[in-house]
Structure 1
Amino acid sequence: MEVDGSKGNMAESPTNSQQTVSDDDEIDYSVKPEFYDPKLDDKDELWVQKRRKGYTSDAVLSCPACFTTLCLECQRHEKYVTQYRAIFVINCKIDSDQVLKQNGPKLIKGKSRREASSVGGETLKKVSCSACSTEVGVVDEDEVYHFFNALPSES
C-alpha cells in the first residue's frame, strides 16, 4: 500500500500475482506440443486387440487406488454386477500367505493352506495390485481371478 501525499489517500498498487497474465495468453498454439501424438489412441487400440486375440471383454479393469491396468479381458458376474472374473491378468500379485476359505457366500480366513484345505470347500488366495498393493480380488484353485475391488471401464 502506498500513501498518496497530496490527498492522504491510500492507493493500492498491484502485486505480482495481480499482474500475472492468464496461462492461455502465454501458450503459443502455432507450435506443435512436444509430447502429443495424435495417433497414440489408434496405436493403443491395436496393442489391446493384439493382446486379446480377437476376443471381446465386458470391461477393462483398473486398480481403484492407482489406476494401474489389471485386466484387459474379463467377464462380468451374472448376479453381482460390480464383480468380474478373468483368466489372463497383468500387474497383479498373489499373496500366498493370505489364504481364504469359501463356504457358501462367506469368506473365512485361514492361517495356513493346510488348515484351510482341511475345512472343505474352495481355497482362495488374495490378489493385490503389483504397483500399490491394494487388494483387488482373489484367485481360486482353478486359477480364475475374481475381482471385487476394481474399476471397470469401457473395453
Structure 2
Amino acid sequence: MEEDKTKHAMDSPTNSQQTVSDDEELDYSVKPEFYDSELDEKDELWAQKKRKGRTSDAVLSCPACFTTLSLDCQRHEKYLTQYRAVFVVNCKVGGERLLHQSTPKPKGGKRHRDSDESKVNPAVGETFKQVFCQVCSTEVGAMDEEEVYHFFNVLPSES
C-alpha cells in the first residue's frame, strides 16, 4: 500500500508543472493588456527629443543590470569598445578614490633631462574619478577633470 502512495505522488504534477499552458488554452482574440504596437516609434521619438538633434554613436547600458547610462555618446577613435559622453543618466561618481593617468615621459637625451619643464612638473597626469551604475553599483567608467565621462565597461547598442 505504501508503494501505491509513492507512485501516486510521483505521477501528480507539482505546482510549477501546473503553471505551464498549452497554446490551445490561450485566447488570441483578446488584445494583450501590456502590448503596444507603436511602442518602438514612441521610444524613438523620446530618444530624439532627449538628444535635441544631436547624433550618437550608440546607446550605452550597464553590463550588469542593462540600465541606460547614455543616449548621446561618441566612440573612441582608437579603442573601439570605449565611449565618451557629457550627458549621462543613472550614473554616480565615486569621490573616495581617484585614478591617475600618467603621461608617458618622452624619451630624450641629456637636453630633455636638463629642461626646466621636467623639473617643474615631474608627475604630469590627469585625474579621473570612478563612475558607477546608480542602480547596481557596477563600475562602468571614469570622469575626467572637465566632467567628461569615459565609459569602458558598458554594453553599446545602435542608436
* 2:147 equivalent among 139, 143, 149: 143
Report what 2:48 is aligned to: 49
Question: What is the identity percentage for the equivalent residue pairs of Structure 1 and Structure 2?
Answer: 68
Report what 2:76 is aligned to: 77
TM-score (norm 2): 0.76
SS at match of 2:29: coil
Pairwise mapping of residues 58-73 of structure 1 onto structure 2 (< 5 A)?
Answer: 58-73=57-72
- 1:31 shift after superposition: 0.5
* Count of aligned positions: 135
**Mapped pair 1:15 → 2:41:** no
Q: Kindly provide the amino acid, as one letter, of the partner of residue 143 in structure 2.
A: V
- 1:22 shift after superposition: 4.2
What is the distance in 2 between the residues matched to 1:15 and 1:34?
35
- 1:16 shift after superposition: 3.8
- CA-to-aligned-CA distance 1:20-44 (integer Å, 9 cap, x gap): 6743222110111111111111111
What is the distance in 2 between the residues matched to 1:142 and 1:92?
16
**Structure with the higher strand share, 1 or 2:** 1
For structure 2, the residue ranges without an aligned partner over 5 or more in a row are 105-121
Structure 1 vs Structure 2 CA RMSD = 2.5
Report what 1:129 is aligned to: 133
Pairwise mapping of residues 94-133 of structure 1 onto structure 2 (< 5 A)?
Answer: 94-104=93-103, 119-133=123-137
Q: Kindly provide the amino acid, as one letter, of the partner of residue 73 in structure 2.
A: C
TM-score (norm 1): 0.78
SS at match of 2:44: helix
Report what 2:115 is aligned to: none
Q: Kindly provide the amino acid, as one letter, of the partner of residue 49 in structure 1.
A: Q
Q: Kindly provide the amino acid, as one letter, of the partner of residue 52 in structure 2.
A: K
**Structure with the higher helix share, 1 or 2:** 2
Return structure 1 stretches of 4+ with deviation > 4 angstroms: 18-22
- 1:124 shift after superposition: 0.3
Report what 2:119 is aligned to: none
- CA-to-aligned-CA distance 1:56-103 (integer Å, 9 cap, x gap): 111000000000000001011011000000010000000011111110
- Of structures 1 and 2, the one scoring higher in RCO (CA 8 A, sep 6+) is 2
SS at match of 2:35: coil
Report what 2:91 is aligned to: 92
SS at match of 2:47: helix
For structure 1, the residue ranges without an aligned partner over 5 or more in a row are 3-11, 106-117
SS at match of 2:32: coil
